[in-house]
Structure 1
């Protein structure tokens, strides 16, 4: 079952009364983290683990072939150590990429006519629904890289009667200005 988001634009005609609902132009897709940010995170995991592995590999192989003295007499165990390091590097990469992918797939937002819906998780699903009428402030944060690749975070402050306050952040979304404009209509 696909999760749907309704992004809308209000269009009024002469035939409609203000009490009736307006026709909506809808886009049915979840709001997720930018694909550019997703790829940057995966590339960072791969590059860092490969660099650490390359440095350790270089040190061990250099010591092995140049007959340098290694502590704890690990000279004889160099091949086993390199094999274990390679397995550990691969396991770390698989774990890191899996956690990034599962977080990307499991976290999404939906904006409906009256609510902001936040979905978290794949197996342990949590859904939070925020009323758009109690939004108090909206701000955008973009780094210089975010401005180049058009992604950023939308910070939403929500407060209601009785002292209830909450902060909702749409992290790393593509084109955050679009969502800010949509949410500002509810002030």
Structure 2
């Protein structure tokens, strides 16, 4: 390395750059066109045909997935977007769950806050529906489908769960109303029943 580029105390760092691309087996496409974008890979004709390094076990796969998502956010600033992570990036008040949050939520918030098209940040992990303001948008955890974490907001409360009804979130977007989120329970209940009959409101 040229002397003029060396730190007198021997400090240094390396920059790595790479190009992400598609390798396509055209014989396996079964007459489908060759994909030319990441969004193409979401089309139904490619279902079950896409392979990728597992971001949970291969760092190259993780970095690639992050880079692609950042690029798509930057390219489509007007497209309403949901961003999904597993661990919650906010403080829920349930202490034993808050000891296992999203790692480095401030860095995540810095990214999200730059993209006004992010309508929701969705997460799981809490096994309870919790909403919080986060990075200029709304963060929501989805209720669990197996059990719910006990709603205990006492300091250093015990790690417990209970068998409340499983639930889900349904997100509906329209140009007129934006993003609306509904919560439903997964079970069989009596109903539905009318509010009105031929005589008006039923009391």
Structure 1 length as normaliser, TM-score?
A: 0.19
More helix by share: 1
Larger gyration radius, structure 1 or structure 2: 1
Structure 2 length as normaliser, TM-score?
A: 0.18
Q: With a CA cutoff of 8 Å and minimum separation of 6, indicate the structure with the bigger relative contact order.
A: 1
